[in-house]
Amino acid sequence: MTEANTEWFYIIGGERLGPVTFPDLKARYESGELTEKTLVWTKEFADDWKKAAEVPGMREASEPPLVPATEILNHWLYMLISVPLVMSFAEVILLRHGAESPNTGGLPGLSFLLFFFANTICALLDQNAVERSGRRDAVNGLLLWILLLVPAYIYLRSKRTGLGSGPLVAWIVALVLGGFITAAWPGGAYVGAGLPKCDSKASLSMVEDLYPDIPINFGKAKAVSITDVEQVSYSEASSQRKCRAVVTNTSGIDTPIALTISEQDGQYYFHVRFDGF
């Protein structure tokens, strides 16, 4: 079976390649082009493809066999799965301290950057843990997915190490739960269910945008922070919500404002004025 003139075939990326001789096949295995799990075939296998590691003479006797999937450390994978949930709480903290809220002039997209870096770091550490276990084949070619689409990395990594689709499903559940947590928190993101709340990010963003154009804001001062946001009234019949808040502007002055949110023909309208005018 391992004679030099025996023809061998192998599969890479779904493509059947060959024929090659056994010495050539073994050289490809030793160079890393073929992995322990690469399927190979020769006429003596009849209708069955076998993993390269199962072929006698392919692996040196002193070389240990493929590490069982149960022995691979998965703690970084579990950390990666929990990132959406953890970052939702981080976003809530940012909102409460004004770092991400658009009305504070904070760094735009800070929560996205934190989410991206947390995903990338956990995925890279997981990739390293898998490689150190000797299962480089399980994460081979996945660096691009780590950088571009983490769910794809989770799916492929889990499939190759025998974990199935469970980790990907868990990540999606964590993502959905994280979205609900952020949306349900006061000052969280508006999810489109009815009129935006007074303290939603959508409402506060509109106050920030409209504040410089209030007619008697002669200096065109901009909003620096918005505090003491509260609802004054709400009418479901007229689809109108009235709010009030205090805006600290770029002149350092605290200015009470009134915000009216209304709906007409499926569109939301925001009107901002100085309270009392």
How would residue 107 be classed by pLDDT, with cut points 50, 70 and 90?
very low
**Per-residue model confidence as pLDDT tens digits over 225-276:** 999 999 999 998 889 999 999 999 998 999 999 999 998 887 889 999 998 7
23-27, 65-69, 78-82, 176-180: segment of lowest average pLDDT: 65-69
pLDDT value at position 193?
56
**Per-residue model confidence as pLDDT tens digits over 116-134:** 999 999 999 999 999 888 7
**Per-residue model confidence as pLDDT tens digits over 82-93:** 999 988 887 777
pLDDT value at position 71?
73
**Per-residue model confidence as pLDDT tens digits over 130-149:** 988 877 878 888 999 998 89
Higher pLDDT residue, 212 or 138? 212
pLDDT value at position 100?
42
The mean of the pLDDT values for the chain is 83
Higher pLDDT residue, 172 or 159? 172
Higher pLDDT residue, 189 or 120? 120
pLDDT value at position 24?
93
Instruction: Please determine, for residue 205, whether its predicted confidence score (pLDDT) is greater than 50.
Output: yes
The pTM (predicted TM-score) of the whole model is: 0.52
Domain ranges of the chain: 8-54, 69-184, 201-274
How would residue 108 be classed by pLDDT, with cut points 50, 70 and 90?
very low
Percent of the chain residues past pLDDT 70, beyond the cut: 83
24-33, 58-67, 112-121, 162-171: segment of lowest average pLDDT: 58-67
Question: What does the DSSP assignment read for the chain?
Answer: ---TT--EEEEETTEEEEEE-HHHHHHHHHHTSS-TT-EEE-GGGTT--EEGGGSTTTS-TTS--PPPGGGS--HHHHHHHHHHHHHHHHHHHHHHHTSS-GGGT--TTHHHHHHHHHHHHHHHHHHHHHHHTT-HHHHTT-HHHHHH-HHHHHHHHHHHTT-TTHHHHHHHHHHHHHHHHHHHSTT----SSSSPPTTSHHHHHHHHHHGGG-TT-TT-PPEEEEEEEEEEEEETTTTEEEEEEEEEETTS-EEEEEEEEEEETTEEEEEEEETT-
pLDDT value at position 155?
93
